[in-house]
Amino acid sequence: MDLETVIAEVAPRLLAYATGRTGCRSTAEDVAQDALSALVVRWRRLGPPESPEAFVFAIARRRAARAAARRALLMPLDAVVAIRSGASAIDTYERRTELREVIRAMAHLRKSDRDLLLLRAAGELPLDQIAKITRTSVAAVKMRLHRARARLSQLMQE
């Protein structure tokens, strides 16, 4: 796989992940750009990393954490979930209302739980990639994701 193909495949998911982590589209674009730039530099100097996806998401995770420390985590609705074009006003309202509830519930989760859920949902990363990024085992990622989903579900019911 070549560098351009990797960037084209990972960039949209990286931006979605960074948006979810930072809560700001502009900051997310900066985080994603920094992570992709680091990938390009690494690729050209030393060749492709073992896992380009894990490489860029690990960098984005660290940079987003720094950005989130400077800025409150507020996720814009339209940036996290693309509202279907041409949807009826009722459908759009229901999706936004549901998303608002999910965002509120996620705000009550621990940072590590939010991060895992975002890596899996927005980043669309497989469990082994998440394990590399978080420096844990795949089994630990599965368990933590299961527990994070259970906590989120409980918060949603409340």
Q: Over 90: is that where the pLDDT of 39 sits?
A: yes
pLDDT at 142: 93
Q: Which two tokens stand for residue 61?
A: 């995770």
pLDDT at 32: 94
Split at pLDDT 50, 70, 90, the class of 74 is very low
Q: Over 90: is that where the pLDDT of 76 sits?
A: no
Residue pair 58/18 in contact (Cβ under 8 Å)? The answer is no
Which structural domain range is residue 19 located in?
3-157
Split at pLDDT 50, 70, 90, the class of 75 is very low
- Long-range contacts of residues 51-55, Cβ cutoff 8 Å, at least 24 apart: 51/129, 51/132, 52/1, 52/6, 52/10, 53/6, 53/10, 53/125, 53/129, 54/125, 54/129, 54/132, 54/133
Q: Over 80: is that where the pLDDT of 87 sits?
A: no
Split at pLDDT 50, 70, 90, the class of 19 is confident
Residue pair 29/16 in contact (Cβ under 8 Å)? The answer is no
pLDDT at 65: 83
Q: Which two tokens stand for residue 94?
A: 């229901």
Most confidently predicted of 49-53, 62-66, 70-74 = 49-53
Torsion angle in degrees (nearest 10) through CA of 29, 31, 34, 38: -130
Please tell me which residue, 71 or 6, carries the higher pLDDT value: 6
CATH value at residue 26: 1.20.140.160
- Residue 64, CA distances (Å) to 5, 36, 51, 126, 145 in order: 24, 13, 20, 20, 20
Split into its structural domains, the chain has a count of 1
Average pLDDT for 66-73? 58
